[in-house]
Amino acid sequence: MTDRIKRREDSESLRILMLEDSRFDAELILAHLADFDPNPIVVRAASRKEYLDALGQADFDVILADYSVPDFEGVSALTLASERAPDIPFIFVSGVLGEEIAIESVKRGATDYVLKQRLSRLPAAIERALAEARKRQELRKAEQRTELLVAELSHRVKNTLATVISIVRQTARKSVGVDEFQDALLGRLNALANAHALVLEANWREAHLDRVLERALQPFPQIRPRVMASGPTVEVQPRAVLALTLVFHELVTNAIKHGALSSEAGSVTVKWSAKKNPGNAGNVTLVWREQDGPQVIAPAGNGFGMLLLERSARYELDGEACLEFPETGFVCNLSFAAGAAG
């Protein structure tokens, strides 16, 4: 006895539309479909109207059609199926189907053909047709994913280039001399490059906030022991990673040039907390606090670094940066929406 063919791993019944006017031939076909486990669900249409009604009302896995029905040609049935259900495999099951007609049918979109005198090969033909349909569907999904990735990459590249252009222009405007411009620009571009490396390592998914801070501190190993960080696990979206890296870079370089890290006794504490909101959007509050450095004097106006920090918080992080200048040490209170917080 032939082993019964398992339809799917979830044991879902095969759904078949059969265009066949002969009840005797239909019963023969059904007998050969008994090889499938579980038994297929077969809707039989004996006319054009019944075929059209069935096509419009149900979702089928495969169509079996006689090439010649009294008021309906098989080619017309194939054309209608190609228009209304192009993803459903179409197999001709006919008593008379010459080689030329068979080849022409395949050219028109038929998946296969089986002679009624050789119905024993029908189950294998159906399985092969279903496998080909699955491959086409997987290929189509892969192509759609590729299109989405290319579009997303294009969008991100444009955004990154816009950020780079803005950084170059503003750094040039605020710099005094070529050396200062070069140092400031290279530092910011390196920070941006490190941020991109981090999100690439995370496959453009969320990255942990402590890793974002660590990556921003990486170019400054001499001051790393004097920056103490603490807070719960917070995951931030790729866009937030890029913005936060630039924010941390500005805070670090400012502390090294003018703040607590400009003296050997100075240090920085970074603390954050997270609150979950509906929709899994995390509201994060972060405090950058400097201590034991030189006496702080509030600047008369913000340089580009502080402007970049404030604008990144507002426009890229959907948050706010509040800068304070007590004599004991500079403080930055940063609030932002991280995406997913844990």
- pLDDT at site 301: 67
Amino acid at residue number 277:
N
Q: What are the pLDDT digits (tens) for 142-160?
A: 888 878 767 766 666 666 6
List Cβ neighbours of 87 (8 Å cut-off, separation of 6 or more): 133, 136, 137
pLDDT reported for residue 267: 96
pLDDT of 182 above 60: yes
Greater confidence, 301 or 243? 243
Instruction: Mark 2-20 as b/e (b = at least 16 C-beta within 10 Å).
Output: eeeeebeeeeeebbbbbbb
Chain Cα centroid distance, residue 103 = 41
- Give pLDDT tens digits for 16-28: 999 998 899 999 9
DSSP state of 88: S
Q: What is the mean pLDDT of residues 279-288?
A: 75
Range 93-105 average pLDDT: 73
Q: CA-based Rg of the chain, rounded to a whole angstrom?
A: 34
The answer to whether residue 12 scores a pLDDT higher than 70 is yes
Fold topology of 186-341? Heat Shock Protein 90 (3.30.565)
Residue 274 has pLDDT above 60, yes or no: yes
Residue 183 confidence class, pLDDT cut points 50, 70, 90: confident
Look at strands 5-6 and 36-37 and give their pairing: parallel
Q: Which residue has the higher pLDDT, 89 or 1?
A: 89
Residues of the chain with pLDDT > 90, as a percent, come to 28
**Would you mind telling me the total number of residues written for the chain in this entry?**
342
Domain ranges of the chain: 5-136, 186-341
Question: What is each CA distance from 205 to 79, 219, 240, 276, in whole angstroms?
Answer: 45, 24, 11, 19
The dotted CATH code for 5-136 is 3.40.50.2300
Quote the pLDDT of residue 116: 87
Q: What is the pLDDT of residue 5?
A: 43
Around 18, how many Cα atoms within 13 Å sit in the side-chain half-sphere?
23
Q: Which residue has the higher pLDDT, 291 or 107?
A: 291
| Burial (0-12, 13-18, 19+ Cβ within 10 Å), 333 | middle
Q: Which pair of tokens denotes residue 136?
A: 């086409």
Per residue in 305-327, pLDDT (tens digit) is 677 778 878 877 888 889 999 98
pLDDT at 55 over 80: yes
Residue with the larger pLDDT of the pair 289 and 83: 289
Full-model pTM: 0.56
Measured CA to CA, the distance from residue 44 to residue 113 in angstroms comes to 18
- Computed over every residue of the chain, the mean pLDDT equals 83
- Sorting pLDDT into bands at 50, 70 and 90, what band is 285? very high
C-beta atoms surrounding 114 within 10 Å: 22
Beta bridge partners of 207: 236
Cα 307 to Cα 246, 250, 260, 321: the distances in Å are 11, 10, 20, 10
80: left (phi over 0), alpha (psi -120 to 50) or beta: alpha
Q: Which residue has the higher pLDDT, 288 or 108?
A: 288
Residue 174: its H or E element: helix 122-174
